[in-house]
Amino acid sequence: MSIDKLDLQSPDLVNENFEKLAALFPNCVTESVDGIAIDFDLLKQELSHAVIEGNRERYRLEWPGKREAIVTANLPTTKTLRPVREDSVDFDNTENLYIEGDNLEVLKILQESYFGKIKMIYIDPPYNTGNDFVYRDNFTGDKDEELFESGQIDEYNRRLVANPEASGRYHSDWLSMMYPRLKLARNLLTEDGIIFISIDDNEAHNLRKVCDEVFGEGNLLGVIANVNNPKGRSDDAFIATAHEYVAVYSRDISKASVYGFEPEDKVIKRYNKTDCSGLKYREIDLRKTGDADKRSDRPDMFYYFYADPNSLEIIEVSKEKRANDLLEIIPVKDDGSDGRWRWGFITAKENMGELLVKYMPNREIWGVFEKDYLDGRPPLKSTSSWTHKDVNSERGSEQMVDLGFDKETFSRPKPLGTLRRTIEVGTIPKEKSIVLDFFSGSAGIAQAVFELVGDTKRDLSFILVQLPEQTDEKSEAYKVGYENICEIGKERIRRAANKIKEEKRAKAKKDGLFADFEDTQDYGFRVYRLADSNMQDVYYRPQDYKQETLDMFDDNIKPDRTPDDLLAQVMLD
C-alpha cells in the first residue's frame, strides 16, 4: 500500500505554468545553465504574426517593482493554517471560514483546496489615500523585535507602512501590493465567477489597468458608481465627490452568470391582481408604445384579436379581418392611427390564455392586456449607478451600532446595502456558492451572507481573510478590549448571527408559527490562524545523519502542534 506524503508547501505555480507552456509550445523548450527553460524569444514569435526583432515598444501597464510583484505571486509558501476552536462557533458543522493572517500567504494556501471553487469575490482594499497601510512584500531582513512590537513589520518580516503621496513610489507600492493578490484570487474563481472591487478616485484608473491585465480587458462586466455620500464630500476643493466605484470583472465573460435584484416593495405593489390560484399579477397593455410603435414600422406585428362579446374570452387571433359577430380588437395609437402589438403573431396565438380583454373608457376602445406574474418576473438588472439609500456610508456605522458596538469601534465599515447588492448580482439563488472577502475588515460580508440566506434562502457560505492589524491604544476599540481588527470582525459575526436568530424567532411568534419553528441556517464559522509550517524547520545533509542519532528524526512535527493542526493542513493540501 502506498503512503501519501504530506506536502510541506503550496503548489509551485512557476513549474505548473512551465508545464502548460511546454505542452502548448514544445519547440520553445530549451536548455540553460539552470536546466530546461522556455526560450521567450521563440515564444514571442509563436504568438505574433509579425517578425519579432528584439525589444519593441508595446502598450502595457508598467511600474517600478512589477517584475518583483509577478515573482511574489508565483513563489510558493510553506505557511499553514492552524484551527482556533476557542474562537469558533459550531466548528465541526459550519461551512464558513474566518482566517487571520496576511491575505497573500492565505491566498496561496487556498490555491489547492479552492482552485476554481469560489463563485464570487468582494474586496474593499486600501484606497491609497496617503494614510492607508500597504504591504511591501519584498522586504527582507532579520526579524527586529522592536519593529515588530511597534507594528512596522509583521510576523513574516514584511513592512506594514503608510504610503504617503510624497514617497516617490505612491502608486507603484499600491500596484505591487494588489497585483499578486488579484492574480491569486483569479485562480480561485469558478469559470462563471465574478469579482467586485470597491475603490475611489485615488487608484480607480490603476485598478482598471491592473485588472485588465490580470483578468483580461474583455472580461470587464462594468464599473458601478456607488453613490455613498449624496451630499458630496465637504473637504473636496472644487467638485464634491458623492460616489465611489465598484469594478466588476468575470473570470470568463462567455461563461459569466450574473443575477440581479429581487423586486422592491414599490415594485411589488404594482402587482395588484390575484388569479384563481392566488398568484399575484399586473396588467400590461399589449399595445406597443414609444418608438417604432406604428403599423408601418412592423407590419407583421399588426393583427386582429376576436373575443366573445359576453365572456370577453379571446376566441381567435388572425392576420386577416373577419366578418363575424365577435368583438374585434386592433392596436390603435392615441391619435387614432394604426399601431402595432408588442408580441409577434405566433407568440400571441400560443399564449391566448395569458391575455385578457378590457374596455378602456378614457380612450373609448377595447384593448388587450398581458397578465404579468410576479413569480415569473426576471430579476432587476443592476444599473451602473447605485443611488439607493442603503448604500449610504452612514448606514455602515449605524449597522455596527445596531449590533451593540460603539460608533467609533471601526472606521468607515461598508454598509450592508452595498455588500448585499454585490452578492445578489454575483450569485445565483438556487446554486450553492462560496463568497470570499480577503480584505474583510469588520466582517460585513459575513452579516450580509447571513441576512441573504435568511431572507432569500440562498445557499451561501463565506471565507473571510483579515490581517490581525493592531488597533491604536488610544482608540475606542482598544479601550473596550479589541486588540486587533480580527477581534472586532469575529465578534461582529457572533452578534449578527444572534440578531438574525432572534428576529426569526420573534417573527415566528408573531405569525403564530413558533410551535413548528425550526431554524436550520448555518450561523457558525471556523477560525484559522496563519502560522509557520507544522514541520520542524531543520534540514540535514545526508552525511549529517548518524546511526546513533536517527531516533531524533522519527518525528519531524513541531512539539506544539495538535492533530487538528495536521488535519487542517491535510485538508488544505
> 335 and 291 in one domain?
yes
| 315-328 CB burial, b ≥16 within 10 A, e <16 | eebeeeeeeeebbe
Where is the domain boundary, 324, 347, 373? 373
> 224 and 186 in one domain?
yes
CB of 381 closer than 8 Å to CB of 270: no
DSSP alpha helices (H): ranges in 203-286? 204-211, 265-268
Please spell the DSSP secondary structure of 420-445, one letter per residue. HHHHHHHS-TTS-EEEEESS-TTTHH
- 170 Cβ contact list (under 8 Å, min separation 6): 128, 130, 163, 164
d(CA 413, CA 448): 13
- 448 Cβ contact list (under 8 Å, min separation 6): 416, 419, 420, 423
Where is the domain boundary, 346, 373, 400? 373
Question: Phi and psi at residue 420, in whole multiples of 5°?
Answer: -60, -40
d(CA 97, CA 103): 14
Domain assignment of residue 480, yes or no = yes
CB of 404 closer than 8 Å to CB of 242: no
> 292 and 191 in one domain?
no
Domain assignment of residue 309, yes or no = yes
Domain assignment of residue 63, yes or no = no
Domain assignment of residue 73, yes or no = no
Give residue 275's domain range: 265-373
Q: What is the pLDDT of residue 79?
A: 92
Q: Kindly tell me the burial class for residue 523, based on how many C-beta atoms sit within 10 Å of its own C-beta (0-12, 13-18, 19 or more).
A: buried
Would you give the DSSP letter of residue 470? B
Instruction: Give the three-class secondary structure for 224.
Output: strand
Domain assignment of residue 354, yes or no = yes
> 386 and 319 in one domain?
no
d(CA 193, CA 251): 6
> 444 and 355 in one domain?
no
d(CA 172, CA 274): 60
Residue 494 cell numbers, joined: 457572533
Q: What is the pLDDT of residue 151?
A: 45
Q: What is the pLDDT of residue 138?
A: 47
Residue 46 cell numbers, joined: 509563436
Where is the domain boundary, 336, 356, 373? 373
d(CA 483, CA 424): 33
CB of 78 closer than 8 Å to CB of 533: yes
Q: Note the pLDDT tens digit of each residue in 280-307.
A: 999 999 999 999 999 999 999 999 999 9
> 439 and 350 in one domain?
no
Question: Phi and psi at residue 318, in whole multiples of 5°?
Answer: -135, 145
> 412 and 357 in one domain?
no
> 159 and 85 in one domain?
yes
d(CA 139, CA 454): 44
Q: What is the pLDDT of residue 210?
A: 94
pTM: 0.78
Low-confidence spans in the chain with pLDDT less than 50: 138-152, 156-157
CB of 73 closer than 8 Å to CB of 11: no
Residue 74: in which H helix or E strand, if any? helix 66-74
d(CA 352, CA 406): 60
Q: Kindly tell me the burial class for residue 207, based on how many C-beta atoms sit within 10 Å of its own C-beta (0-12, 13-18, 19 or more).
A: buried
d(CA 282, CA 273): 6
> 148 and 18 in one domain?
no
Domain assignment of residue 74, yes or no = no
Please report the beta strands in 67-106, taking only residues with DSSP state E, as ranges in sequence order: 80-83, 97-100
Residue 560 cell numbers, joined: 506544539
Residue 506: in which H helix or E strand, if any? helix 485-510
Number of structural domains the chain divides into: 4
Domain assignment of residue 409, yes or no = yes
CB of 247 closer than 8 Å to CB of 221: no
> 564 and 465 in one domain?
no
Domain assignment of residue 75, yes or no = no
CB of 523 closer than 8 Å to CB of 501: yes
Angle at 227 between CA 224 and CA 230, to 5 degrees: 160
- 142 Cβ contact list (under 8 Å, min separation 6): 157
Radius of gyration in angstroms for the set of CA atoms belonging to the chain, rounded to a whole number? 30
CB of 413 closer than 8 Å to CB of 98: no
- 468 Cβ contact list (under 8 Å, min separation 6): 100, 101, 484, 485, 486
> 103 and 50 in one domain?
no
> 361 and 275 in one domain?
yes
Q: What is the pLDDT of residue 91?
A: 96
CB of 448 closer than 8 Å to CB of 442: no
* Cβ count near 396 (within 10 Å): 22
